[in-house]
A and B are shown apart, each in its own frame.
Chain A
Amino acid sequence: QKEVEQNSGPLSVPEGAIASLNCTYSDRGSQSFFWYRQYSGKSPELIMFIYSNGDKEDGRFTAQLNKASQYVSLLIRDSQPSDSATYLCAVYQGGKLIFGQGTELSVKP
């Protein structure tokens, strides 16, 4: 079992829809969770972090954390073509980030 797992996609949604990206992790003791966006050929960009169970909203982005289920998700409301990218889930463990393989999101105009 991988430490951090994501569906690789691609996930395709129409413009204006809600995109839902999911991530599970194996270490029950993990405390900090991050979402990065990575455009093709570019480096990862931090867009959200969440430490507590529940929802955290920032603009069109909502991160959701359920530690009991070891599940993190990212919702993107009113998806735009500019949101088309790979979204990486990361878990902070012992001084470093452990990344999933990323989910490719495509927003169709």
Chain B
Amino acid sequence: DTGVSQDPRHKITKRGQNVTFRCDPISEHNRLYWYRQTLGQGPEFLTYFQNEAQLEKSRLLSDRFSAERPKGSFSTLEIQRTEQGDSAMYLCASSSRGQGKLGEQYFGPGTRLTVT
């Protein structure tokens, strides 16, 4: 296993710009998750995919956020018209298809977004 990878690791952008993050899950994992974490808080769920289907999107996620997993492998998370409140660590995780293993999620290194 090469683990979950994310790119870029750091992103600094100006308010109003669009940004896109990429996540490559562990190869045999069919579920992929996006979370957001701010300082002093636990990760907060954003959305998740089973294969290429987006199964749930958090009500906290505004319309400026969109995620895709077009071929059921890597995923992208796009934030349009960034705001300073979007500054956070964006975490990707993946889990195996095995029954009972869906909650065993393995995280990538994260993308730290700073909006100036």
Contacts and interface: CB of A to CB of B under 8 A. Distances in A.
Nearest to B40: A101
Where chain A touches its partner, the secondary structure class is: strand
Interface stretch (B11-19, B69-77, B78-86, B105-113): B105-113
Interface in B26-74: 33, 35, 40-45, 48, 55-56
Contacts of A90: 42, 103
A45 B42 contact: no
Interface stretch (A11-19, A53-61, A62-70, A92-100): A92-100
A81 interface: no
Interface residues of A, number: 24
Given A92-B103, A95-B55, A100 B109 contact: no
A101 B108 contact: no
Interface string A83-97: 000001010101111
Contacts of B48: 95-96
Given A97-B93, A102-B41, 13 more contacts: A42-B109, A43-B89, A43-B107, A43-B108, A44-B91, A44-B107, A46-B105, A92-B102, A95-B55, A95-B102, A97-B43, A99-B43, A102-B40
A96 B42 contact: no
B56 A97 contact: no
A71 interface: no
Contacts of B41: 101-102
Nearest to A42: B109
Contact of B106 (A46, A88, A96): A46
